[in-house]
Amino acid sequence: MRLTLRACAAAAAALSLAGCTSWQPHATLTPSTEFRGDARVTRTDDAVLVVRSPAIAGDTLTGGLAAAQRVAIPLSDIRAVHTRRRDMGRTILALGVAALLGLYIHSEGSHTVVD
């Protein structure tokens, strides 16, 4: 029984760590804009694309899509750009959940049965 609880806690802790980042809006787009990682681009026609290694050249956002396709989107066709950033609220929540699971497992493992 203890092994199952520990396995569940480890899986829950690993999954909760994925919540440490979130898509957050990128304020301005200029030729000097630097991106870290992928960008989620919402076009004016409501199409959403995840662009890998985005960069701005002149008045166009360029980057890659799945299957090694390249894309070039005029800035005038972009409604919003979101990039992944650390989310402190989610990070604290994930650590709190992991700590509570650890305490629960520790308390379950310390019970002894006396006959």
Residue 80: pLDDT over 80 = yes
pLDDT at position 1, please? Answer: 46
Q: Which two tokens stand for residue 23?
A: 């898509």
Q: Would you state the pLDDT for residue 47?
A: 95
**Which of the pair, 91 or 26, is modelled with greater confidence?**
26
25 and 42 Cβ atoms separated by less than 8 Å: no
**pLDDT higher than threshold 70 for residue 2:** no
- Domain 2-109, CATH number (from 2.60.40, 1.25.40, 2.30.30, 2.60.120): 2.30.30
Q: What is the share, in percent, of the chain residues with pLDDT greater than 70?
A: 66
**Three-state SS at 81:** strand
The candidate with the shortest Cα–Cα distance to 99, out of 87, 88, 107, 110, is 107
Residue type for position 87:
D
pTM: 0.60
pLDDT for the residue 9:
61
**Residue 29 corresponds to which amino acid?**
L
Q: Cα–Cα distance between 45 and 47 in angstroms, integer?
A: 6
